[in-house]
């Protein structure tokens, strides 16, 4: 009886070895082939934004003139500035002409014969205003009175050069040499005084008298800007 059991066990083991595998564990060849064929037939879709051929020529970028308008604006501004400069140049040239020189009152200039009167061409320097109404002539001396915005007054006197000054040179704290002649500036007793002997004949002795609050450089600028007015003689 034990031999019959052993035979059954060997037969059962043999049957288990010869039994085919389950359909779930072995893939069917037909399904695999169909899946492979579908993959081969599916076209490859190119990605957007990239060229599908390496033979395509590169795309040329167009250069846009972004700064064309600003350049035109700059050119126009330069033209305007040049035009303004030309206008200022001609305007300044006109102011330097003799016919633009202010005239002294004829009633005064008619009395002057022994010296050359001097006055300002255009505006006086350092903000001083010399009104022709404040010009007077008395005892052979021409008086010009001016004032600045701060209320500082300056009196300029002009007269014929005395004979004893003909070969002398004005003395002072500061020497002055300009286109009109030679002179000096001094500070005396609370006053700033400038003296100038002109070189134009007939020579004129010019004196500029102001309070000590008026700096010597202002007196020097006033004497330098005076111009002879022979046309008023």
Taking 80 as the threshold, does the pLDDT of residue 98 lie above it? no
202: preceding bond cis by omega (within 30 degrees): yes
Q: What is the pLDDT of residue 97?
A: 42
Question: What is the pLDDT, as a whole number, of residue 88?
Answer: 41
Q: 124-128, 172-176, 214-218, 228-232: which range is least confident on average?
A: 228-232
Q: How confident is the model at residue 20 (pLDDT cuts 50, 70, 90)?
A: low
Q: Show the tokens assigned to 125.
A: 């320097």
Q: Are strands 141-147 and 135-138 parallel, antiparallel or unpaired?
A: antiparallel
Phi first, then psi: give them for residue 11, nearest 5 degrees.
Answer: -65, -40
pLDDT, tens digit, for every residue of 21-73?
555 544 444 445 544 444 555 455 445 444 444 455 555 555 555 555 555 55
Tokens of 199: 């070189």
Contacts of 185 (CB under 8 A, 6+ apart): 172, 173, 174, 176, 192, 193, 194, 195, 216, 219, 220
Cα dihedral 34, 36, 41, 44, rounded to 10, equals: 140
What per-residue confidence (pLDDT) applies to 164?
A: 84
In which residue are the tokens 């700059």 written? 74
Question: How far apart (Å, rounded) are the C-alpha atoms in residues 136 and 153?
Answer: 16
CB 229 within 8 A of CB 120: no
- At 149, is the pLDDT very low, low, confident or very high (cuts 50, 70, 90)? very high
The C-alpha atoms of residue 213 and residue 45 are separated, in whole angstroms, by 95
Paired tokens of 130: 């010399």
For residues 216 and 174, what is the distance between their CA atoms, to the nearest angstrom? 9
Assigned token pair, 202 = 């007939």
Write down the mean pLDDT value for the chain.
74
Cα(201)–Cα(130) distance, integer angstroms:
25
Helix ranges restricted to H, 96-227: 106-109, 216-225
pTM for the model: 0.56
Query: What is residue 211's predicted lDDT score, i.e. its pLDDT?
Result: 94
What is the CATH number assigned to the segment(s) 102-232?
A: 2.60.120
Model confidence at 168, pLDDT cuts 50, 70, 90, reads confident
């Amino acid at each position: 009886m034990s031999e019959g059991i052993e035979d059954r066990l060997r037969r059962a083991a043999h049957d288990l070895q010869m039994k085919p595998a389950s359909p779930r564990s072995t893939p069917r060849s037909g399904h695999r082939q169909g899946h492979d064929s579908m993959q081969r037939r599916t076209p490859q879709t190119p990605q957007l934004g990239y060229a599908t051929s390496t033979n395509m020529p590169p795309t040329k970028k167009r250069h846009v003139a972004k700064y064309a308008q600003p350049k035109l604006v700059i050119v126009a501004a330069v033209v305007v500035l040049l035009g303004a400069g030309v206008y200022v140049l001609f305007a300044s040239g006109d102011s330097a002409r003799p016919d633009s020189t202010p005239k002294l009152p004829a009633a005064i200039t008619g009395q002057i014969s022994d010296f050359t009167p001097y006055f300002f061409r255009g505006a006086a320097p350092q903000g001083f205003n010399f009104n022709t109404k404040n010009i007077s002539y008395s005892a052979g001396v021409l008086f010009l009175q001016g004032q600045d915005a701060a209320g500082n007054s300056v009196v300029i006197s002009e007269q014929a050069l005395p004979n004893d000054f003909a070969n002398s040179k004005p003395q002072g704290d500061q020497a002055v040499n300009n286109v009109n002649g030679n002179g000096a500036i001094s500070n005396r007793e609370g006053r700033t005084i400038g003296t100038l002997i002109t070189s134009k004949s007939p020579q004129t002795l010019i004196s500029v008298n102001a309070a000590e609050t008026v700096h010597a450089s202002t007196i020097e600028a006033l004497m330098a800007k005076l111009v002879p007015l022979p046309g008023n003689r």
